[in-house]
C-alpha cells in the first residue's frame, strides 16, 4: 500500500524557527464542553482528561474549546477563558500533558459577541427548557456586537462603540500573551459560526455606517486589527491559525470569495493555518452531508501559497474519505470533531486502516484496532 498522505507529517511555518511539525494531518477541532460550573473560566480536570485522551488517540494537533478572551465574550458561564492568570496556571499542566503525548497544543481564542450569555448547548439544560439567552435570574449579562440586528432569537446586543472595539482588540492581544504563557503551540482565532468577528464580517449582521461597516475593507477591519495585535505579541516561533465560516450560504451574506480574499491578506500578516467551516449567522441555509464544507477548504487552498496548512472540517468520519480529501489535493489536513467524541482513538484506527504508523501510548500495545 502506498504511504498514507493523512499520516505524513507536516510543518506549519512560523515567522522564526523551525515551524510547528505535526506527526500527521488529523486535527481535533475546538469543541466547547460547558463543564466549568464555577463560572470562572478556569479549565478543570475534565479538560485534562478529555484533551489528553485525544492526544493518546493520535491527533497531531489538539485544539482546546472556544476560550474566551473576555468574560463577557463567553457563550455560556460554563466556558473556558484566558482573561486572567489563574486560567493560565490551570491550562499549563494541560498543554504540557498534550505535548508529552506527541501532539501539539492549540487553543481557539474566541469572543461570542451577541451570541454570549446563553445557557450553552447542554442536553441536560435543554431538557429543562434552558435554551437561548440566560435569564437575568440565572446570571445573564449584557452582550456586545457589531450592530444590533435580531438574527438569533437571543437578547439584543449593544452596538460596540469605536472605543469598545479598541478595548476588545486589546483583550485579544492580552489573551494571546496568556496563551503563550500557558504553553500553547498554536492559536486559532475564532472568526466563524456567527460569533463576534463573524458578526463584523457578514453584511447580514453588520449594518454599521462607520469605518467598521459597509465595504469589505471596513467589515474586515476589526479582524485585521485583532490579527495584527496578536501577531505583535505572539512569539515568532509559534504558529498562528484561524477558523472561518467560509460561507453564510445566503445571497448578500459573507461568501467564499470574501473568505479567499481575507485569507490571502491574513497570510501576509503571518497566519498559516486555515480551518474552513461555515454558517452561524441566523438560520442555517447550507448543504449538509459527508464532507460538505470541503469545497470551501479547497477554494482557500488554491488561493494561498503552498506552505499554508488548510484543513477541511464537517462530517469527515471515515479514514478513506479523509485520505481521499488529501490525495485529491482538496486540503492539507482534516479536522475530525464529533467522530472523535465517539472514538478518541479515531486517528489510530485510521492509521491501522491505512497501513500507517499508529501513535498510541506504549501501554496500549495490546489494544485492538
Ligand atoms: C462544536 N464546534 C465548535 N466549533 C468551534 O469553532 N468552536 C467550538 O468551541 C465548538 N464547540 C463545539 C462543541 C461540540 C460539542 C460540537 C459537536 C461542535 C464545531 C466543531 O468544531 C466542528 O466544526 C463540527 O462539529 C463539525 O465537524 P464534525 O463534528 O462533523 O467532524
Q: What is the pLDDT of residues 225-266, one digit of tens each?
A: 999 999 999 999 999 999 999 999 999 999 999 999 999 999
CA of 293 to the centre of ligand 1 (A): 13
213: pLDDT strictly greater than 80? yes
- What's the CA gap between 16 and 237, in Å, rounded? 5
Residue to probe by mutation, ligand 1, list 65, 112, 115, 337, most atoms within 8 Å of CB:
337
Check if the beta carbon of residue 315 is closer than 8 Å to that of residue 289. yes
Residue to probe by mutation, ligand 1, list 28, 29, 35, 343, most atoms within 8 Å of CB:
29
Confidence (pLDDT) at 148: 84
Of 299, 99, 137, 279, which is closest to residue 198 (Cα–Cα)? 279
Confidence (pLDDT) at 282: 87
Confidence (pLDDT) at 332: 98
φ/ψ of residue 316, rounded to 5: -105, 105
Confidence (pLDDT) at 91: 99
Question: Is residue 195 among the annotated active site residues?
Answer: yes
φ/ψ of residue 285, rounded to 5: -120, 5
Strands 144-145 and 158-159: parallel
Q: Residue 186: pLDDT band by 50, 70, 90 thresholds?
A: very high
Q: What is the mean pLDDT of residues 62-78?
A: 98
Residue whose CA is at the smallest distance from ligand 1 atom 14? 31
Confidence (pLDDT) at 12: 98
Q: For 142-165, what is each residue's pLDDT tens digit?
A: 999 999 888 988 999 999 999 999
Q: Residue 2: pLDDT band by 50, 70, 90 thresholds?
A: low
ipTM beyond cut 0.90: yes
CA of 231 to the centre of ligand 1 (A): 25
Confidence (pLDDT) at 369: 85
Confidence (pLDDT) at 1: 55
Check if the beta carbon of residue 20 is closer than 8 Å to that of residue 14. yes
- What's the CA gap between 21 and 133, in Å, rounded? 41
| Residue 367: how many other CB atoms lie within 10 Å | 13
Average predicted confidence (pLDDT) for the chain: 97
φ/ψ of residue 336, rounded to 5: -120, 110
> For the CA atoms of 283, 288, 294, 295, what is the dihedral angle to 10 degrees?
-70
97: pLDDT strictly greater than 70? yes
Check if the beta carbon of residue 316 is closer than 8 Å to that of residue 339. yes
Strands 309-313 and 273-277: parallel
Q: For 101-121, what is each residue's pLDDT tens digit?
A: 999 999 999 999 999 999 998
Q: What is the mean pLDDT of residues 291-308?
A: 98
Radius of gyration of the chain (CA): 19
Q: CATH homologous superfamily of domain 10-364?
A: Aldolase class I (3.20.20.70)
Strands 186-191 and 104-110: parallel
Q: What is the mean pLDDT of residues 46-68?
A: 98
Q: Is the CB of 66 under 6 A from ligand 1?
A: yes
- What's the CA gap between 313 and 322, in Å, rounded? 10
Provide, for the chain, the percentages of residues in helix, strand and coil under a 3-state DSSP scheme, each rounded to the nearest 5: 35, 15, 50
Sorted by sequence, the CB contacts under 8 Å of residue 253 that are 6+ apart come out as 202, 203, 204, 247, 281
Amino acid at each position: 500500500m502506498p504511504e498514507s498522505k493523512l499520516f505524513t507529517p507536516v510543518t506549519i511555518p512560523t515567522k522564526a524557527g523551525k515551524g510547528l511539525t505535526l506527526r500527521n494531518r488529523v486535527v481535533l477541532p475546538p469543541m466547547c464542553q460547558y463543564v466549568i460550573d464555577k463560572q470562572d473560566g478556569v479549565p478543570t480536570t475534565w479538560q485534562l482528561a478529555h484533551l489528553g485522551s485525544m492526544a493518546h488517540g493520535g491527533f497531531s494537533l489538539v485544539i482546546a474549546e472556544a476560550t474566551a478572551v473576555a468574560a463577557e465574550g463567553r457563550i455560556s458561564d460554563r466556558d473556558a477563558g484566558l482573561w486572567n492568570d489563574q486560567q493560565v496556571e490551570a491550562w499549563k499542566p494541560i498543554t504540557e500533558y498534550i505535548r508529552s503525548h506527541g501532539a501539539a497544543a492549540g487553543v481557539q481564542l474566541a469572543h461570542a459577541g451577541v451570541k454570549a450569555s446563553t445557557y450553552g448547548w447542554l442536553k441536560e439544560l435543554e431538557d429543562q427548557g434552558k435554551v437561548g439567552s440566560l435569564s437575568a435570574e440565572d446570571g445573564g449579562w449584557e452582550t456586545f456586537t457589531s450592530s444590533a440586528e435580531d438574527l438569533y432569537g437571543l437578547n439584543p446586543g449593544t452596538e460596540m462603540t469605536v472605543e469598545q472595539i479598541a478595548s476588545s482588540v486589546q483583550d485579544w492581544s492580552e489573551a494571546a500573551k496568556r496563551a503563550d504563557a500557558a504553553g500553547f503551540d498554536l492559536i486559532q482565532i475564532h472568526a466563524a459560526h456567527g460569533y463576534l468577528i463573524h458578526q463584523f464580517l457578514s453584511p447580514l449582521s453588520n449594518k454599521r455606517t462607520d469605518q467598521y461597516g459597509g465595504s469589505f475593507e471596513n467589515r474586515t477591519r476589526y479582524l485585521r486589527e485583532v490579527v495584527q495585535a496578536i501577531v505583535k505579541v505572539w512569539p515568532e516561533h509559534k504558529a498562528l491559525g484561524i477558523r472561518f465560516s467560509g460561507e453564510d450560504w445566503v445571497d448578500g451574506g459573507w461568501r467564499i470569495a470574501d473568505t479567499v480574499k481575507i485569507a490571502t491578506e491574513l497570510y501576509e500578516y503571518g497566519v498559516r493555518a486555515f480551518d474552513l467551516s461555515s454558517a452561524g449567522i441566523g438560520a442555517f441555509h447550507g448543504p449538509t452531508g459527508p464532507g460538505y464544507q470541503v469545497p470551501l477548504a479547497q477554494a482557500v487552498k488554491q488561493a494561498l501559497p503552498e506552505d499554508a496548512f488548510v484543513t477541511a472540517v464537517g462530517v469527515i468520519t471515515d479514514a478513506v474519505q479523509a485520505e481521499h480529501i488529501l490525495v485529491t489535493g482538496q486540503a492539507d489536513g482534516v479536522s475530525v470533531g464529533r467522530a472523535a467524541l465517539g472514538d478518541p482513538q479515531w486517528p489510530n484506527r485510521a492509521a491501522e486502516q491505512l497501513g500507517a504508523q499508529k501513535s498510541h501510548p506504549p501501554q496500549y500495545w495490546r489494544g485492538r484496532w
